[in-house]
Chain A
Amino acid sequence: MSRPKLYGLMAEFDSPDALLAAAHKATAAGYRRMDAYSPMPIEELAEAVGFHHTSLPLVVLCGGILGGITGFGMQYYGSVFTFSQNVAGKPLNSWPAFIPITFELTVLFAALTCVFGMLAMNGLPTPYHPVFNVPNFALASRDKFFLCIKARDPKFDARATREFLEGLGPVEVSNVET
């Protein structure tokens, strides 16, 4: 067996503040491909690891528009073409009556696109992820805070990055094997 390839380097911290400070320093040092793990939400963390832009809102908008068109279209098609009924002398295309369903389907499509789009763009479900090879990583859902700089970061260098992480005052720095 060949020596396992490196996925990245993982530093373990004791407090959310230490993790936040480390993430800021790593960004300042030029690292871009990293991820942070914490047992609870830390508001500024996403920005600190350089998570700025996601195209999910655009996808959701498209889902919503598609839902609106579907909702209105189904009612228009049914009322005007296939099952035309004269209701109280109102026109066949009685659009005010179509609005509630149009709205509902807009919300439904947008919400479903949001959930499934989020899962797809996050690459979930992921049955296997290398970070779990770090023995202590289970504590990320209890009381420890982790910062992982990935090997595919252009600035990554197994030795220099390890030295950098050790300079941030972590509890421990471990190799993350793939």
Chain B
Amino acid sequence: MSVSDLPDVQLEQAQKPALIVGVGAAVLLVAMAFVGADRDQFFRSYLFGYVFWLAFPLGSLALLMLHHLTGGGWGFVIRRLCEAGARTFALMAVLFLPLAVGISRLYPWTRAGWAAEAAKHAPFKATYLSQPFFFTRAVIYFVVWIGLGYLLSKWSMEEDQTGDPGMHNRMEALSAPGLILYGLTATFAVIDWVMSVDPDWMSTMYGLIFVVVHVFTAMAFLIFMASRFADHEPLAKVATPSRFHDLGTLLFAFTMLWAYLAFSQFLIIWAGNLKAEITWYVHRGLGEWSWVAGLLLLFHFFVPFFILLNRPIKRRKQLMAKVALVLIVVSALDVFWIVTPSFFPAPTIHLTDVLAVAAIGGLWLWAFAKQAQGRPLVPLHDPRMEEAVEHGA
């Protein structure tokens, strides 16, 4: 192992290419919106890219708080990476601005007359989907996310520096209401930003499906990152095959949970067979989009199900890193299948879709790499660390 392998050096080296890809793609994307004059498509692609990348910091935050509450050796492998992810919400708030600009192009409920028409049969919806309220809610979401990420990171660093065991109790005490807040804000956010693209359609399971998208995508990403740094102290002490086995098992659980929720939503809407609801699935599951749904069934459930059942695979970090990368791509396809059919009768992929994913992704990875540097990759003074190291072998 040479110095250039050190996690901090690797992260620093990754920053520049990530920033170049991010800024380059963003410039191209904006240029295409102005030159090509297809502004609608710019915002559609941007919505897809944004919703997909938002899963990384939100999932990191959720897993971080989950670990503070439940403990367990697995969490120490990814905790510092989770904290780095949870410190990127300020960037996500800035990246939200294009959606705010494009609100009238993306959401039918912003059109003149929609509210008056909706008020006749759904007065609550007409009030809920108003621009001032929409923006107020967005501000609340970001305040909650930035606040949780900031406090959990700050106390974790103080714990490292002072060794004060009281910090651990503080983080645990914040994580309980924090997880509830995460559940509320994350589900309301996707209802606002994604579901309201089809304001006449609704599903109560929708928000939870996105919670699984968050933790699934983030877990795959964290496994990939942890596998790169696992040979370095102090992470090497906790990042043993057994811990990768645990992380793989959690990823397996999220795969199952995804299938369970996605199928439950389908079953309920299929059984009800109401015109306002079933069209969503007729469009995505029977029409031109059906082969994408088939791909998801295969690669978001059956393939990872059988791969992640295997103990030997889960214990080998290099293999798990590859599986995780594939599952991140599959998760992007899942978000694409949820978001994009609202705009198109048949599967169409635009250059702007790719550019939006590259732009937001490049910028987010740049911010993540920056945040992940400069701190030890495991919490040094967590009272439960010793136990985790003992059982790590």
Chain A residues close to B by CB (< 8 Å): 43-44, 88, 90, 96-97, 99-100
CB-CB nearest 8 A-B residue pairs:
A96-B270, A96-B267, A88-B273, A99-B263, A43-B393, A43-B242, A97-B271, A96-B266
Q: Which residues of B contact A44 (CB under 8 A)?
A: 393
Chain B residues close to A by CB (< 8 Å): 242, 263, 266-267, 270-271, 273, 393
Closest partner residue, chain B, to A57 (CB atom): B309
Closest partner residue, chain B, to A88 (CB atom): B273
Q: Which residues of B contact A99 (CB under 8 A)?
A: 263, 267
Interface SS, B side: helix
Q: Report the separation of the CA atoms of residues A90 and B272 in the bound assembly, to the nearest whole angstrom.
A: 11
Q: Report the separation of the CA atoms of residues A100 and B268 in the bound assembly, to the nearest whole angstrom.
A: 12
Q: Which residues of A contact B242 (CB under 8 A)?
A: 43
Q: Which residues of A contact B393 (CB under 8 A)?
A: 43-44
- 9 A-B pairs within 8 Å (CB atoms) are namely A43-B393, A88-B273, A90-B273, A96-B267, A96-B270, A96-B271, A97-B267, A99-B263, A99-B267
Q: Which residues of A contact B273 (CB under 8 A)?
A: 88, 90
- Give the shortest distance, in Å, between A110 (CB) and chain B (any CB): 11
Closest partner residue, chain A, to B392 (CB atom): A43
- Give the shortest distance, in Å, between B238 (CB) and chain A (any CB): 15
Extra 9 A-B pairs, beta carbons < 8 Å, given A43-B242, A100-B267: A43-B393, A44-B393, A88-B273, A90-B273, A96-B266, A96-B267, A96-B270, A96-B271, A97-B271
- Give the shortest distance, in Å, between B101 (CB) and chain A (any CB): 41
Closest partner residue, chain A, to B240 (CB atom): A43
Q: Report the separation of the CA atoms of residues A90 and B273 in the bound assembly, to the nearest whole angstrom.
A: 10
Q: Which residues of A contact B267 (CB under 8 A)?
A: 96-97, 99-100
Closest partner residue, chain B, to A87 (CB atom): B271
Closest partner residue, chain A, to B259 (CB atom): A103
Closest partner residue, chain B, to A100 (CB atom): B267
Q: Which residues of A contact B270 (CB under 8 A)?
A: 96
Q: Report the separation of the CA atoms of residues A90 and B270 in the bound assembly, to the nearest whole angstrom.
A: 10
- Give the shortest distance, in Å, between A138 (CB) and chain B (any CB): 27
Q: Which residues of B contact A97 (CB under 8 A)?
A: 267, 271
Q: Which residues of B contact A100 (CB under 8 A)?
A: 267
Q: Which residues of B contact A43 (CB under 8 A)?
A: 242, 393
